[in-house]
Structure 1
Amino acid sequence: MFALSILFLMPFLWMLSASVKIEAEVFAYPIKWLPTQWHAIENYKEVWVGKFPFYKYYWNTIKVTVATTVISSIVSALAAYGFSKIQFAASKYLFLIVLATYMIPQQAILVPQFILYRQIGFFDSHLGLILLCSFSVLGTFMLRQFFMGIHNEFIESAKIDGAGHWKIFWRIAFPLVRPAIATYAILRFIWTWNDYQNPLIFLRTDKLYTIQLAMQKFTTINGEFYSLMMAAAVSAIVPLLIIFVIGQKSVIEGIALGGVKG
């Protein structure tokens, strides 16, 4: 496993090494993992505050990603609780209809979404981009499986004590499946951070661009400077690594919770 991990890490290590080199050493053969002339400050300064400042697009991406992650996690958890613990007529059939929409490719509904967003005024705005991903069928299905693992006796006891579904959700159900919700939140963060298609379609103003569109534009402008491109790529990946390192305990707990449930 250690040998395989080194194999998978080598591209990232090369990218990190190239980001601190001068341009002439990037493609030197044999590979020089440590540069003879360090150029890290100059490269990263050009990326962050140069002609194409990354900090603006970083802020845009953080704002969109965090808001989308929080809203999507809450909405998916509420929907999952409703489908698993609230019995109403045709609930199973309604859930199957919701689940069936997951089989529709996103590309198939881009045009209707584009037209709708133009008409209601959400086109070319971060609010529209956030709302676009604020509900996830996969998140609802995933969290529903965990909510179903909560014994109904907890719910019935809370009802006897006079608690409504809103209080039951926040005081009982939500804490019991917190690892699963944290796992989904991490996945949602990664998906939104890496999303290229939706910002490409629904954003037009340069100052609203996310990091993925900024990377594409930065590559077009600095296509011949690979050290700068690698510095930009490292900057784009670092938040994902931080989120994974911070949240890996929750991911493991979520997997363990699913295993115990099974």
Structure 2
Amino acid sequence: MSAASVLGSAPSGARNPDPRRTTRTGRRYDLGHVLGRVLLYLMLAALLVPVLFPVYYVFAGALMEPRELSSFPPQLAPTGLHPDNLLGALNAVPLLRMYTNSLVMAGIITVSQLLTSALAAYAFVFLRFRGSAVVFALFLSTLMIPGEATFIPNYLTLSGWGLSNTYAGLVLPFLAYAFGTFLLRQSFRQFPRELYDAARMDGMGHLRFLWTILLPLSKPALTAVGMYVFITSWNMYFWPLIITRSTEMQTLQIGLNSLKTGEAANPGLLLAGAALSVIPTLALVIFGQRFIVRGLTAGAVK
């Protein structure tokens, strides 16, 4: 038997291995693909430096001495742990009290907006009523109104009710918001209508269905809305500034602005206060970024 006949008897689907490619776990890689991935990661790392450097310098500067912060060329790392900036910031303004006020305000607003957004989104998706599309359009149109345009009317109203310089005055204008309703509505629309109809036929009420079935299956969207609302509420400055009068009711962002008076002498005080203020939001972003992505993309595809 000749070699040609042996080669001819090989299976028609067999292919000669390509020396330029290697197979690993069922996927093929070539040199160009690997180089492309390396270049992509290098580019992303280069873009990440200007984003993360300000965050790093806030924490590094909070631990530096005044001479280190004013040195030239600038010093990028502290020579040791110096808690004087943190202690000075706590003594300059009542930051712990302001920290508590910010936590209470952001927590109440977050819980309230999650509740109102979930109820409104449930009504728009599962309750059939005439004119729901028009009502939802009017609901979303409130997003086009700048928040600053409502501050003066809200201030006059709450001051007339005697609620200025109180927790109620801080949170009342923000207990409901259309953006959270929009995101949760998009998530609820992915829920199979047949399961809802089956639950209703079994005698399950609206609130029980929402609490025991729909909300547990919508945790990514709920987490994304909650994180967005908390970060937005935590960073509010103008409304707490005009509705509060005493330092006992002011929030952390106002306290940080008060630290600017000593910035020329010791910018470490301001950096220490900024480091304290960024810890909650930074922790939320680090541990909940996957929920943000999943929640914001809910309803993007069918």
Q: Normalized against structure 2, the TM-score is what? A: 0.81
1:122 offset after TM fit, Å?
A: 2.3
Q: Which residue of 1 aligns with 2:32?
A: none
Q: Does 1:32 pair with 2:72?
A: no
Q: Does 1:84 pair with 2:125?
A: yes
Amino acid of the structure 1 residue aligned with 2:68: E
For residues 193 and 39 of structure 1, what CA distance do their matches in structure 2 show?
A: 28
Larger relative contact order, structure 1 or 2 (CA cutoff 8 Å, min sep 6) = 1
1:244 offset after TM fit, Å?
A: 1.6
Q: Is 1:179–1:250's contact at 8 Å kept on the other side of the alignment?
A: yes
Residue-by-residue CA offset, 1:95-131 (whole Å, 9 max, x unaligned): 1111112211222222211111112232221122122
Q: Does 1:177 pair with 2:218?
A: yes
Q: Given the alignment, which residue of 237, 242, 246 partners 2:278?
A: 237
Q: Does 1:149 pair with 2:190?
A: yes
Gaps of 5+ in 1: none
1:53 offset after TM fit, Å?
A: 2.9
Alignment of 1:11-160 (within 5 A): 11-36=54-79, 38=80, 40-48=82-90, 50-160=91-201
RMSD: 1.7
Q: Which residue of 1 aligns with 2:6?
A: none
1:20 offset after TM fit, Å?
A: 1.1
For residues 32 and 101 of structure 1, what CA distance do their matches in structure 2 show?
A: 47
Q: Which residue of 1 aligns with 2:289?
A: 248
Going from structure 1 to structure 2, the CA distance change for 1:161 and 1:140 (only over 3 Å counts) comes to same
1:10 offset after TM fit, Å?
A: 1.4
Amino acid of the structure 2 residue aligned with 1:237: V
For residues 142 and 240 of structure 2, what CA distance do their matches in structure 1 show?
A: 22
Indicate the SS of the match to 2:116. Answer: helix
Alignment of 1:180-195 (within 5 A): 180-195=221-236
For residues 35 and 139 of structure 1, what CA distance do their matches in structure 2 show?
A: 42
Q: Percent identity?
A: 29
For residues 214 and 78 of structure 2, what CA distance do their matches in structure 1 show?
A: 53
Runs of 4+ in 1 over 6 A off after TM superposition: none
Going from structure 1 to structure 2, the CA distance change for 1:101 and 1:35 (only over 3 Å counts) comes to closer
Q: Is 1:22–1:39's contact at 8 Å kept on the other side of the alignment?
A: no
For residues 202 and 39 of structure 1, what CA distance do their matches in structure 2 show?
A: 38
1:68 offset after TM fit, Å?
A: 1.0
Size of the aligned set, in residue pairs, is 259
Q: Which residue of 1 aligns with 2:206?
A: 165
1:84 offset after TM fit, Å?
A: 1.3
Q: Does 1:196 pair with 2:237?
A: yes
Q: Which residue of 2 aligns with 1:210?
A: 251
Comparing 122-131 and 178-187, the one that deviates more = 122-131
1:245 offset after TM fit, Å?
A: 2.0
Q: Based on CA coordinates, which of the two structures has the bigger radius of gyration?
A: 2
Amino acid of the structure 1 residue aligned with 2:252: I
Amino acid of the structure 1 residue aligned with 2:109: T
For residues 145 and 253 of structure 1, what CA distance do their matches in structure 2 show?
A: 12
